[in-house]
Amino acid sequence: MSDPHRIVVVGGGAGGLELATRAGDRFGGRGRAAVTLVDKNETHLWKPLLHEVAAGSMDIHAHQLDYLAQARWHHFNFCCGALEGIDRGRREITVAPTIDERGAEVIPRRRLPYDTLVIAIGSVANTFGVPGVAEHAYALESAAEADRFHRRLINACIQANYRPGSAPASLRVVIVGGGATGVELAAELHNTTRVLAAYGLHNIDSERFLQITLVDAGPRILPMLPERIARSVTEALEDLGVRVVTSEQAVEITASEIKTRSGKAFPADLAVWAAGIKGADVLASLDGLETNRINQLMVLPTLQTTRDPDIFALGDCSAFPRAGSGPAVPPAAQAAHQEASHLLRSIALRLDGRPLGPFRYRDFGSLVSLGEYSTIGSLMGFLSGKSYRVEGWFARFMYLSLYKMHLYALHGPIGVILDTLARFLKRGTEPAVKLH
């Protein structure tokens, strides 16, 4: 008997974990291939939930998925550690040692051989070289960072509640970047402080305590949505008391303010950087694989990297070639999900020695959640090819269904039903906002 084909997926996020799970079920269980997932963390949290974790409307521990358990249930191996390099000649990747909180090495550096390699390590915040971002701003690029922001927020609220004297309490949060992440975080934060006040922080005036400013360099927020929808969202945010500032490019962040090119300064107790993404630095030094100017791996329409047909890339870490008037593939969970499904089919074709077909992205539209307040966006009509504005419960349902589709890929239909039921039943015994 020949050795099984070795499939290594690096990055267990929105796209990579779906692919490893489904490839494990389809090929690993039957011994057709040995599937290994590599991730630098031990647990998975779906990235579009990070603003809810940061605001506290979602408990990180209740939504994290243990890679080792998922691997056991779905017939793949899990290897914990960060991708450090590739040796394309030997068809091996190098995984960095894992280090514990005391700085002691837990697992040494390893080499993993592959026949098919899929790189799906997502993105990191693009600071565009702006000084002070790393030191003074939070970038919601990992669950740990979102959790750190949340703890800082709770401490600031508690501190304000127990402040001496009668000084008015306020917390100034400046969010740089008016894309979906910044907008959703602003709305979610507003809701959190209202709820916190109801949980015993009575010295906080929930309407005036939090002063949120959303700063964007462009002429309007939400550039991926039609202008009329961006206008509605701006109005909705302003109704909540969020100050929306456009055409102001942040050029420096200090411990106390955000400075812009026009010379303005926005005082900030907490600064969030949500102004764009790029590929991690490691992508630029992967044994000659081609990258673009923001470190994303260049791929062919088949999702194979341009210089190595055995190495594929999907999701935020890849740059898909735009064909004619077709939609650009955005750095979004829905794109990573579609690419993972496509790659599952491609791997089956590869195992049979058949040629691979091109990936075609279907743009279903974009939705922005304003938390408890509203969901708004545009959906594509497939027959007409036009986009339609949606709002209210239908938009909320469509927004939530993207996460349900992710859970469906990870746990199947019964798993999604049980998860939904369990969360519904637990609502009565948990606070609406995480309080620690």
Ligand X SMILES: Cc1cc2nc3c(=O)[nH]c(=O)nc-3n(C[C@H](O)[C@H](O)[C@H](O)COP(=O)(O)OP(=O)(O)OC[C@H]3O[C@@H](n4cnc5c(N)ncnc54)[C@H](O)[C@@H]3O)c2cc1C
Nearer to ligand X, 125 or 160 (CB): 125
The encoded tokens of residue 395 equal 């938009």
Instruction: Please report whether residue 177 would count as binding ligand X according to CB under 6 A.
Output: no
CA distances from 375 to 30, 182, 371, 409 (A): 43, 15, 7, 24
**Which residues, numbered 60-99, are part of the site for ligand X (CB under 6 A)?**
82-83
Instruction: Please report whether residue 371 would count as binding ligand X according to CB under 6 A.
Output: no
Could you tell me the smallest distance in angstroms from the CB atom of residue 12 to ligand X? 5
The stretch among 97-105, 108-116, 120-128, 286-294 that binds ligand X (CB under 6 A) is 120-128
Cα–Cα distance for residue pair 420/433, rounded to 1 Å: 19
Could you tell me the smallest distance in angstroms from the CB atom of residue 311 to ligand X? 14
Nearer to ligand X, 47 or 278 (CB): 47
Nearer to ligand X, 268 or 282 (CB): 282
Instruction: Please report whether residue 229 would count as binding ligand X according to CB under 6 A.
Output: no
The stretch among 46-54, 217-225, 415-423, 427-435 that binds ligand X (CB under 6 A) is 46-54
The stretch among 99-107, 119-127, 157-165, 241-249 that binds ligand X (CB under 6 A) is 119-127
> Residue 79 pairs with which residues in a beta bridge?
38
Instruction: Figure out which of the listed residues 24, 28, 48, 178 binds ligand X, where binding follows CB under 6 A.
Output: 48
> Residue 243 pairs with which residues in a beta bridge?
213
Instruction: Please report whether residue 10 would count as binding ligand X according to CB under 6 A.
Output: yes
Residue nearest to ligand X (CB): 13
Instruction: Please report whether residue 180 would count as binding ligand X according to CB under 6 A.
Output: yes
Please give the size of the binding site for ligand X, defined by CB under 6 A. 35
Binding mask 314-353 for ligand X (x = CB under 6 A): -xxx-------------xxxx-x-----------------
Instruction: Please report whether residue 275 would count as binding ligand X according to CB under 6 A.
Output: no
Binding site for ligand X (CB under 6 A): 10-16, 38-41, 44, 47-48, 50-51, 82-83, 120-122, 140, 180-181, 280, 282, 315-317, 331-334, 336, 402
